[in-house]
Structure 1
């Protein structure tokens, strides 16, 4: 029996409404989805924004518009922006995004930051100065080794201990499995991380239930999965959140109070 935090990632950088009609793309759609997911139990939102053509964007103005819309629709919901490059942005652009927004929270890929270690150090220092809660995105052993080295040499401040373990892959598609969690936990056992799990594919809920049972927090949503365990389409993000909260409750797990 465990308490856990639940974040929703309703769109990500790559999927479109062609993949699912209820995937939010505009600030208004994201705000509506945020409110529905907050009502269903999600305590925080992992926010991606898109340009006018629906492509992934790190533009500060677009973020501000979406942040304002979400604050109005779900005023009690925490918001984490992404700095994900999605194959489009370099580290300088990611740093510029953090500089312009100085957000309350941001996810930052260790693998992407490692493309330019000098700018990475500036990004982490800026985040520390701005009070941004950084969540390190870890895709596997290479990312974990890099983060460990950066703790040791001071590139990443020692207080930045939040991380998300990514199970499975979007492309090439690899279905996440619950037993994939063990490798992350073993490799980070000495790092004192506050860890969260997200999981690609239709076994998402099973993976997240395993994470909660192991003492972790979870991130759910259409960024990682749009399917039921049987392979059909989920109704929408809020329905997935509600179903997961119910499944976790049936196993004796409860949401942490904020």
Structure 2
């Protein structure tokens, strides 16, 4: 790889606005965040949305508004979360695709998520994958544990390549209940990725204090980066994150030090097979 795809995940579904005042939850806050992060070097935005009370929601109208607002203000690739919150039902998660994003997440299995369970049945995964094929929406396969890469291999073998023909995974590391956010775990995943279709790419997300080790290990092994306040609320020990821009700027700096500067949105579309809309 000669460049780095940088994804920003600005909000998530776990943190409360009352606890994290800098968290972007309104449409205006999300749009401003998208513009700022694109200017720094992000090429993909991974979106969760909130309602008027700043609670996580999969409301179809709000999802369409968010996609349209980010598209009108930036050239970023819009990737919606099909995970939502851990309590969201499957039909609402499938309906995320109706908002017409460029990409959407597709998690490869059930995982303990702190004190909760993030449920992803095989039948649901297949349904999500095939609906994205039909609608030409490019999936990012979310991997919370090593065995989920084997599940992805099974999915592709039984149901074919994704829309765009390119396989891209995101290694979500450091979630309590999933794989640890360590260089050793990332290298084990990279070895397993070699069994996926030729040309498969990966990004990596380090949750909390694993952010920096995961970023460095990903860059060292040819991977890409996902950062943002969905995953990280502390910039350094005792220092809260001030904005998503702060996290994107750090990722850009690491990518440049690795001599793999950020890819533009156009270059990222070409790499991942994401069509213009």
**TM-score, scaled relative to structure 2:** 0.83
Measure how far apart 1:243 and its partner are: 2.2
Contact conserved, 1:134 with 1:160, CA < 8 A, in 2? Answer: no
Measure how far apart 1:157 and its partner are: 4.6
1:197-225: CA deviation from partner (whole Å, max 9, x where unpaired): 11101341332132122111111111111
Structure 1 residues 238 and 114, CA gap change in structure 2 (3 angstroms):
closer
* Alignment partner, residue 171 of structure 2: 165
Separation in structure 1 between the aligned mates of residue 120 and residue 42 of structure 2, nearest angstrom: 33
One of 126, 136, 140 as aligned partner of 1:121: 126
One of 225, 228, 233 as aligned partner of 2:232: 225
Structure 1 residues 253 and 117, CA gap change in structure 2 (3 angstroms):
closer
Give ranges in structure 2 of 5+ residues lacking alignment.
Answer: 111-117, 267-277
* Alignment partner, residue 34 of structure 1: 34
Aligned structure 1 segments of 4 or more residues deviating by more than 4 angstroms: 112-116, 155-158, 171-175
* Alignment partner, residue 103 of structure 1: 101
Structure 1 residues 175 and 31, CA gap change in structure 2 (3 angstroms):
farther
1:54-113: CA deviation from partner (whole Å, max 9, x where unpaired): 22222211111112222233x222111110142222322222222x22322111112159
Give ranges in structure 1 of 5+ residues lacking alignment.
Answer: none
1:99-148: CA deviation from partner (whole Å, max 9, x where unpaired): x2232211111215984444443322221121101111111123222212
1:155-186: CA deviation from partner (whole Å, max 9, x where unpaired): 765935111111101x4698723333112112
Contact conserved, 1:47 with 1:82, CA < 8 A, in 2? Answer: yes
* Alignment partner, residue 254 of structure 1: 261
Separation in structure 2 between the aligned mates of residue 8 and residue 69 of structure 1, nearest angstrom: 16
Q: Number of aligned residue pairs: give it.
A: 255
